[in-house]
Amino acid sequence: MINIVLLEPEIPANTGNIGRTCCATGSRLHLIEPLGFQISDKMLKRAGMDYWDKLDVTVYDCYEDFLEKNPQAAGNMFMATTKAHQTYTDVSYPEDAYIMFGKESAGIPEEILVDNEKNAIRIPMNHNIRSLNLSNSVAIVLYEALRQNSFLEAERDGQLHRLHWHNK
């Protein structure tokens, strides 16, 4: 199971959208406080639609609390940042990867990035654009990790129902 880690997310709609994406992909969501909203926030629930109750989500008091409760994340965590030297497609994601994203206004703090530089990844974009929307960034990187792992348990085949139209 892929793990999505949001460090101090600020915008409830983004986190709701990310929660919905996690439900759709069978991924686990980790939220590290402080949050810019309450978990009961209606914007969060609205963006997550009727999937929020199906979400595997854990909230942590701080980054150290997250690391303490997830020792398997050490050395297995990729950090999405515009400051990385490698792209998100340059790395190999294990089935139980942790992919961290920072808060919308500032990203992941430098002191965390410096200690994890070899696992820092970026999404290529035009030089005059600061960043993508957080929920879009999560979806891009998460689906690459899933693709590399044959989409794990996700349903791969859709069913097209052909309608037979007759001219009268």
pLDDT (average), residues 30-51: 76
Q: Tell me: pLDDT of 80 over 70.
A: yes
The CATH H-level superfamily of 3-148 is SPOUT methyltransferase, trefoil knot domain (3.40.1280.10)
The pLDDT-based confidence of 162 (bands split at 50, 70, 90) is low
Q: Tell me: pLDDT of 43 over 60.
A: yes
The pLDDT-based confidence of 167 (bands split at 50, 70, 90) is low
Residue 8 tokens, joined: 């101090």
DSSP string, 126-144: -TT-----HHHHHHHHHHH
Residue 47 tokens, joined: 């963006």
Quote the pLDDT of residue 31: 97
Mean pLDDT of the chain: 89
Q: Tell me: pLDDT of 66 over 90.
A: yes
Cis amide prior to 34 (ω within 30 degrees): yes
Task: Name the helix (H) or strand (E) containing 153.
Answer: none
The answer to whether residues 23 and 1 touch, using CB atoms and an 8 Å cutoff, is no
User: pLDDT digits over 92-137, tens only?
Assistant: 999 999 999 999 999 999 999 999 999 999 999 998 888 899 999 9
Q: Tell me: pLDDT of 157 over 70.
A: no
**Residue 123 assigned to a binding site:** yes
Quote the pLDDT of residue 67: 97
**Residue 11 assigned to a binding site:** no
The Cα-based distances of 165 to 126, 158, 159, 162, 168 in angstroms read: 46, 22, 19, 9, 9
Q: Tell me: pLDDT of 29 over 60.
A: yes
**Residue 135 assigned to a binding site:** no
Neighbours of 158 (CB within 10 A): 5
Q: Largest Cα–Cα distance in the chain?
A: 71
